[in-house]
């Protein structure tokens, strides 16, 4: 992971193999992950058609054969950091986009990378540079680039994104980023972010942002055995997890790469969120998060933990849970419910019930009650007086008997 200063952006870089993989080997190597995510059944329901996933990253290669026709290029908020005429590397962003919406190529599209939501579309929003780009230090050093994530989120929302993938992380969040996330959620956009790769050797890793901001789905990485990857951050912001070790994906210029990180896990969860939004486009971000978390597959005998959250995401189970939750509304409805868009002052008042009370009867009953209370108090005083008198008489008799006995 690359570190900037205190508010620096951390690109969750994958660990790449030396050299690209052959296209024909990619699909077969993806099978274990596809099974873990339960995609075979999920694709019978939806493949993500009609959904736009914004990938806020280092840029996406729109000409990769597994993504061609599915990528829309948005704004580049890193503009000016690289020298003029420099072509962006776009490795990390292309990799994430392929895991979300790769559609493969060749006969029946049986070769290359197949993403979780292969019929979804991608909006590429460039908010980071990769370390081999010449403007990397300039981008990390100059204050004018500190607000790029917040600007990227707002741009994605205004461009019609349904899901925003944030395979990026930083040490602290700015108020602008919190405001941008509130804006996105208010527009019904689901945000998914990486929990971070600083977990090795730590019981509790630092919180990463924007993953730790309320409303954002924070994703950890697991191995092929469904256990937390050693590098994956462990903290209470983690909501769920996904495979993040030895994950194959696409790179620029029709290449294929394999890597590990919470970046990859985040992209896979964003793909499942896209499937839910494709089937239930009006479902709120909170209900999408609930569908993902409540349907996650946890190892037998375990409950929520800060390493893997509620468990590993499963597309089939998530869609079934979303079907149940889709019957619920964000706001209450029915007789007697005040509509939230209607000012309370203008609500039609109900009939006013006037109760006539007999003041004379109330006075009589109050008098009777007071008299009874006084009578009870008087009776109590008489009892106390008689008891005290009886005790005095008993004492006199005892003294007389003692005097008589001593004579």
Catalytic positions, written as ranges: 57, 92, 263
**C-alpha span between 46 and 119 (Å, rounded):** 9
Q: 104 and 110 in contact (C-beta within 8 Å)?
A: yes
Residues in the chain: 407
* Partner residues linked to 219 by β-bridges: 194, 240
DSSP 147-194: THHHHHHHHHHHTT-SEEEE-EEESS--HHHHHHHHHHHHTT-EEEEE
Q: 127 and 170 in contact (C-beta within 8 Å)?
A: no
* Partner residues linked to 282 by β-bridges: none
Of the candidates 40, 105, 28, 102, the residue with the CA atom closest to the CA atom of residue 71: 102
**C-alpha span between 356 and 78 (Å, rounded):** 75
Task: Provide the CB-side half-sphere exposure for 355 (13 A, CA).
Answer: 2
3-state helix/strand/coil string of 30-80: HHHHHHHCCHHHHCCCCCCCCCEEEEEECCCCCCCCCCCCCEEEEEECCCC
Neighbours of 105 (CB within 10 A): 18
What does the CA dihedral 16, 22, 28, 31 come to, rounded to 10 degrees? 30
309: region left, alpha or beta (phi > 0 left; psi from -120 to 50 alpha)? left
Place of tokens 């079907």: 323
SS3 content of the chain, % helix, strand, coil (to 5): 40, 15, 45
Q: Where are the alpha helices (DSSP H) in 174-282?
A: 175-186, 262-279
Place of tokens 């912001």: 237
């Amino acid at each position: 992971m690359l570190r900037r200063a205190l508010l620096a952006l951390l690109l969750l870089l994958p660990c790449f193999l030396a050299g690209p993989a052959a296209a024909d080997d990619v699909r077969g190597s993806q099978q274990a992950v596809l099974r873990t995510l339960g995609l075979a059944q999920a694709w019978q329901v939806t493949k993500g058609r009609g959904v736009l996933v914004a990938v806020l990253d280092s840029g996406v290669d729109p000409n990769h054969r597994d993504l061609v026709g599915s990528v829309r290029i948005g704004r580049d908020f890193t503009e000016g950091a690289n020298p003029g005429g420099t072509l962006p590397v776009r490795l990390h962003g292309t990799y994430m986009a392929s895991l979300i919406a790769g559609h493969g190529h060749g006969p029946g599209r049986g070769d290359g990378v197949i993403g979780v939501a292969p019929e979804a579309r991608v909006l590429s929003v460039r908010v980071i540079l990769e370390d081999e780009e010449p403007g990397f230090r300039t981008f990390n050093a100059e204050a004018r680039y500190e607000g790029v994530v917040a600007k990227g989120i707002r741009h994605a929302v205004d461009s019609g994104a349904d899901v925003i993938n944030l395979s990026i992380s930083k040490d602290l969040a700015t108020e602008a980023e919190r405001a941008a996330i509130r804006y996105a959620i208010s527009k019904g956009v689901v945000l998914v972010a990486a929990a971070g790769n600083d977990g090795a050797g730590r019981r509790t890793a630092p919180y990463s942002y924007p993953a730790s901001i309320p409303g954002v789905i924070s994703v950890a990485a697991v191995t092929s055995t469904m256990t937390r990857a050693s590098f994956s951050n462990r903290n209470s912001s983690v909501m769920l997890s996904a495979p993040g070790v030895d994950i194959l994906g696409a790179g620029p210029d029709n290449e294929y790469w394999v890597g590990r990180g919470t970046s990859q896990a985040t992209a896979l969860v964003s793909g499942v969120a896209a499937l839910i939004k494709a089937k239930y486009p009006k479902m709120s971000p909170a209900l999408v998060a609930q569908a993902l978390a409540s349907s996650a597959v946890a190892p037998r005998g375990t409950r929520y933990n800060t390493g893997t959250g509620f468990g590993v995401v499963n597309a089939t189970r998530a869609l079934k849970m979303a079907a149940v939750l889709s019957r619920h509304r964000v706001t209450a409805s029915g007789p007697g419910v005040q509509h939230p868009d209607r000012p309370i002052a203008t609500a039609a008042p109900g009939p006013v019930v006037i109760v006539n009370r007999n003041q004379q009867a109330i006075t009589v009953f109050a008098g009777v009650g007071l008299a009874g209370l006084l009578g009870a108090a008087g009776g109590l005083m008489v009892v106390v007086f008689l008891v005290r008198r009886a005790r005095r008489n008993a004492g006199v008799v005892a003294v007389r008997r003692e005097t008589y006995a001593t004579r």
